[in-house]
């Protein structure tokens, strides 16, 4: 199918767009450094201009989903604090124990929940395509559902979407 905005029929996967957006900037930085080298005296100043890690806007938009375990880490911190409290002869060891058990259950629950969210987001990401001319994101809803069956989906079934 053709992109509805620019009529292009060239597509790339979101993961390829993401990786290319990083390597392009790196090669630009290298080329810049060589160009500065011929000018002699301005060498150090020119080189500093493109220092550091950069990424194109499109590559950022095509970033893969990330795992988030902030809640689990927070609960683990509380559990450790109350374990230390109970071990140091607290006045309320039963209360400490209950808190530790609740935190442990919370860690398990939040880990499972985050894993389900991440797996679903990864399947959707794998089914995301980017128009090569205008950068519009499209998602293949059928493939994201049927991925485990290995079904190959025609581009005509791609739907427009955006990555948040």
Residues lying near Zn ion in the complex (CB under 5 A): 3, 5-6, 8, 131, 133-134, 136
Neighbours of 34 (CB within 10 A): 8
Q: Which residue is nearest to Zn ion (CB)?
A: 3
The minimum distance between CB 74 and Zn ion, in angstroms, equals: 42
Query: Please, which residue, 3 or 99, has the CB nearer to Zn ion?
Result: 3
Q: How far is the CB of 144 from Zn ion (least distance, A)?
A: 21
Element (H, E) at 144: helix 141-146
**Contact in structure between 64 and 127 (CB atoms under 8 Å):** no
Phi/psi zone of residue 111: left (φ > 0), alpha (ψ -120 to 50 degrees), beta?
alpha
Cβ-based nearer residue to Zn ion, 5 or 109? 5
Task: Compare residues 113 and 159 and give the one whose CB is closer to Zn ion.
Answer: 159
């Amino acid at each position: 199918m053709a992109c509805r905005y620019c009529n292009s029929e060239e597509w790339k996967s979101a993961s390829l767009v993401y990786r290319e957006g990083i390597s392009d900037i790196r090669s630009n930085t290298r080329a810049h450094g060589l160009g500065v080298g011929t000018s002699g005296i301005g060498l150090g100043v020119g080189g500093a201009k493109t220092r550091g890690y950069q990424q194109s806007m499109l590559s950022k938009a095509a970033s893969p989903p990330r795992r988030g375990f902030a809640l689990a880490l927070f609960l683990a911190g509380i559990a450790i604090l109350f374990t230390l409290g109970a071990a140091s002869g607290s006045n309320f060891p039963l209360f400490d124990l209950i808190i530790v058990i609740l935190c442990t259950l919370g860690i398990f629950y939040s880990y499972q929940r985050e894993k389900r969210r991440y797996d679903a987001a990864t399947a959707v990401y794998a089914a995301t395509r980017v128009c090569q001319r205008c950068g519009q994101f499209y998602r293949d809803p059928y493939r994201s559902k049927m991925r485990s069956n290995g079904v190959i989906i025609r581009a005509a079934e791609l739907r427009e979407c955006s990555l948040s």
